[in-house]
Structure 1
Amino acid sequence: MGKHPSLMFKETGEAADAVARLLAREKPVFAEIGRLIGQRRPSVVTVAARGSSDHAVSFFKYLFEITAGIPVASIGPSVVSVYRATLNVPNGLHVTVSQSGASPDIIAVQEEAKRGGATTLAVVNVEDSPLAHAADVVLPIHAGEEKSVAATKSFIASAAALAALTQAATGEAALTGGLTQLPEMLRRVCEADCADALPMLSDAQSLYTAGRGPGFAIALEAALKAKETAKLHAEAFSLAELMHGPMQLVERGFPILAFLQEDEALSASTAALDKLKALGAGVVCFSSRAGGDTVTVPSTGYAKLDPLVAIAAYYRLIERLARERGLDPDTPERLRKVTETM
């Protein structure tokens, strides 16, 4: 690979400005969503997405369920697009997250959710898209054009949009403060030093990514990026689940990348990692809690948002690993930017 930064590298650095634009420009939409949830009081929020957008939805699921106490149910797109099921969601809220807003399967789910009685919200990067045109409410993420196949700034902006939706629904002051700090922390984290993690990964054939709560959602995204950019097999697990069957594969030197936010799950997560280290695993944590095996990331002041900061540091790590392996992280040979599925 050449010496010039990849598009993935540059676009990761643009995430901070994207989030700042989103939070500044879409205040009226967030207020509208807050009113809708307050009026409708849905017993469940349904969601549909694929790929990185689905990982943003997983992040939202943890954050929303923890703070709002309302369950979030992910609808498999094939339930409607292939199996032709009907959805009964009277008085519900259905959220679709898509960068392109063009995949037929998630459009079909949105249409069926609307027929089933839900108000539909499209979180999109392309406002002039079929998904956006058909939605009741549109929330643009303002990430701008993303040329790399690897979604970076669009993933972070989508997850930030869903975090702001959560704040609008709950009015939680601490989350408001964290969102205010998020763009600046995303700028700072681009200077994080990930070099110590590279030797562990350079010859790896497989790895685990792990976390709890919002950190697990980010681990899902990290595993996908390892596969699509560095051709490195990766599986994501909750650290609770990793203590079961998956632990059987952990041998000396087996790489584990963990996303640890300093919240209620920290002590249990740390205990699980100590057990894995005792088995010989090579562990690197992405956390605002400094340590010898940690890529230290700045905190927003709201711990459950901090995994969004950590993923930006990870993107820089996996981009560098891909380039060192002689790969172009922007153009994986078997993938393309927009995937339309049924």
Structure 2
Amino acid sequence: MSPVEVALADRRESTWMFREAAEAADVVERQFARNRDVLSALAQELRRTPPSFVATCARGSSDHAATYAKALFETQLGVVTASVSPSIGSVYAVPQRLEGALFIAVSQSGKSPDLLRNAEAAREAGARVVALVNVEDSPLAQLADVVVPLHAGPERSVAATKSYLASLSALLQLAALWKGDAALLDALPRLPDAMREAWRCDWSALEGGLVPMRNLFVLGRGLGLGAAQEAALKFKETCGLHAEAYSSAEVKHGPMALVGPGFPVLIFAQPDETEAGTLALADEFRARGAQVWLASRRARNDAALGGSLPIASAPHPACAPLLVVQSFYRAVNALSLQRGHDPDAPPHLNKVTETV
């Protein structure tokens, strides 16, 4: 390697984003042990008194975790789950009919005024309020009926990584205990090692290919849609790269008109019933001459096509989004530096965003 390449490689591993994302497997392992009692008690209550539906409330990366929660609860538990706009309570001040609902607020800091107002209103309306927070003594935690700590520890990079993955793992553990499904419960202790494998996956093809790009689509579906949303956000904030996330089904309703020769598309193929359709879409885009990067179980056999990104083996399909995001975080940190950005300090952003 040239001196410049050596310096860049050293810089990649010294960013806070790299170091904090690298901790995620240990965070999840620690979280599963520490939260088992509180989540077991909550799961028992939810089985005894099932909620009429689940409402989530969050912003930014936490809202992408809420997207995962929707797919997770609906596919694993058959419980309708919807996202509540924080502005409904904080700006429009319109009371919502939430009696008997499970209201889940997800926040790293637990300080944003709009989330606090909506959680308070949900409690007043008769919902059971659960707070997933990294700051255990935060205002949000203090007004919740049940507090689920993320146990991610301090996060100094503006771009959230380990706290986002900790939000997903907390939701996954809740779903596993609530459902009482043996396959899902068996997957939990195997997830941290799978995340360590994901961190080692080589996505250098994506890093190099996106350096000159200005726009791209990021596609996922079902359980993988939240991962696509999170990736698109990280491209914007750490790389100055305009990225839009779509469901691999929804992209056919208009946006795919943009996909032609040279158009960049990053696709996350979720290893479940949605996989075949997503792989077919990737083949269609490649046939049009689009620049496709595909993260899938098919990566080894797809090597001749180029743009194939290996993914770690998931102990359960519901674990796969955590693994693909873990691999992505390492790649986007490197891409940010190659594009001349600082992933730890995106322009115009603060670590804690307090919206009203």
- Aligned AA (2:105): T
Structure 2 match to 1:81: 90
Q: Which residue pairs with 1:294 in the alignment?
A: 308
Quote the offset at 1:271 in angstroms.
1.0
Counterpart secondary structure, 1:263 = coil
| 2:346 aligned partner | 332
Whether the 8 Å contact between 2:98 and 2:125 is mirrored in structure 1 is yes
For the 8 Å contact 2:172–2:318, the answer to whether it is kept is no
Output the amino acid matched with 1:323: L
- Tell whether the 8 Å contact from 1:12 to 1:316 is kept in structure 2 after alignment: yes
Amino acid at match of 1:304: A
Q: 2:40 maps to which residue?
A: 31
Q: C-alpha distance in 1, partners of 2:207/2:84?
A: 37
Q: Which moved more, 1:271-280 or 1:115-124?
A: 271-280
Aligned-partner Cα distance in 1 for 2:259–2:239: 21
Map of 1:7 onto structure 2: 16
Q: Secondary structure at the match of 2:103?
A: strand
**Cα offsets for 1:271-330 (capped at 9, x unmatched):** 111111111111112223333232212123212211210111111111111101111000
Residues 73-117 of structure 1: CA deviation (Å, up to 9, x unaligned): 111000000001112222221110000000000111100000000
From 175, 189, 195, the equivalent of 2:184 is: 175
- Within-5 A mapping of 1:235-250: 235-250=244-259
Aligned counterpart for 1:46 among listed residues 45, 48, 55: 55
**Cα distance between partner residues in 2 of 1:199 and 1:90:** 51
Match of 2:320, SS state, is helix
Report the equivalent of 1:206: 215
Of residues 276-285 and 9-18 in structure 1, the stretch that sits farther from structure 2 once superposed is 276-285
Distance 1:186 1:81 in 2: 37
Report the TM-score when normalising by structure 2: 0.94
- Aligned pairs for 1:139-218 (under 5 A) are 139-218=148-227
String of CA shifts for 1:125-173, please: whole Å, max 9, x gaps: 0001000011110000100000000000000010110011111211111
Q: Superposed, which structure 2 residues align to 1:217-228 within 5 Å?
A: 217-228=226-237
Residue 310 of structure 1 pairs with residue 319 of structure 2: no
Q: Which amino acid aligns with 2:143?
A: A
SS at the partner of 1:59? helix
Distance (whole Å) between structure 2 residues aligned to residue 227 and residue 265 of structure 1: 27
Aligned to 1:319: 333
Please state whether the residue corresponding to 2:325 is helix, strand or coil: helix
Secondary structure at the counterpart of residue 202 of structure 1: coil
Residue among 103, 115, 122 paired with 2:124: 115
Q: Taking structure 1 as the reference length, what is the TM-score of the superposition? A: 0.97
Name the structure 2 match of 1:267. Answer: 276
Query: 1:162-194: CA deviations, max 9, x gaps?
Result: 011111211111111222211111112111111
Identical-pair percentage: 44
Residue from 136, 146, 149 that aligns with 1:137: 146
Say whether residues 1:341 and 2:348 are aligned partners. Answer: no
Is contact 1:209-1:258 (8 Å) kept?
yes
Runs of at least 5 residues in structure 1 that lack an aligned partner in the other structure = none
Superposed CA RMSD in Å reads: 1.2
Q: Which amino acid aligns with 1:29?
A: V
Structure 2, unmatched stretches of 5+, are 1-6
Which amino acid counterpart does residue 355 of structure 2 have in structure 1? Answer: T
Q: Alignment partner of 2:200: what SS? A: coil
Which segment drifts farther, 284-293 or 271-280? 284-293
Q: Is the 8 A contact 2:101 2:127 kept in 1?
A: yes
CA distance in 2, matches of 1:122, 1:337: 19
Task: Note if contact 1:179-1:300 (Cα within 8 Å) is conserved in structure 2.
Answer: no
CA distance in 2, matches of 1:204, 1:331: 21
Task: Confirm or deny: 8 A CA contact 2:337 2:343 kept in the other structure.
Answer: yes
Aligned-partner Cα distance in 2 for 1:177–1:160: 14
Distance 1:228 1:172 in 2: 38
Contact (CA 8 Å) 1:260, 1:307: kept in 2 or not?
no
Query: Once the 2 structures are TM-superposed, how far is the Cα of residue 32 of structure 1 from its aligned partner?
Result: 1.4
- The C-alpha deviation readout for 1:226-263, integer Å capped at 9, x for no partner, is 00000000000001111221111112111111111221
Instruction: Tell me the equivalent position of 1:257.
Output: 266
Q: Give 1:60 deviation, angstroms.
A: 1.0
Q: Distance in 1 between matches of 2:66 and 2:137?
A: 22
The answer to whether the 8 A contact 1:262-1:289 is kept is no
Moved more, 313-322 or 222-231: 313-322
User: Is the contact between residue 300 and residue 306 of structure 1 (CA under 8 Å) also seen in structure 2?
Assistant: yes
Deviation readout 1:3-26 (Å, 9 max, x if unpaired): 332100111100001100110111
Cα offset for 1:195? 1.1
> What code does the residue aligned with 1:65 have?
E
Deviation beyond 6 Å, 4+ runs, structure 1: none
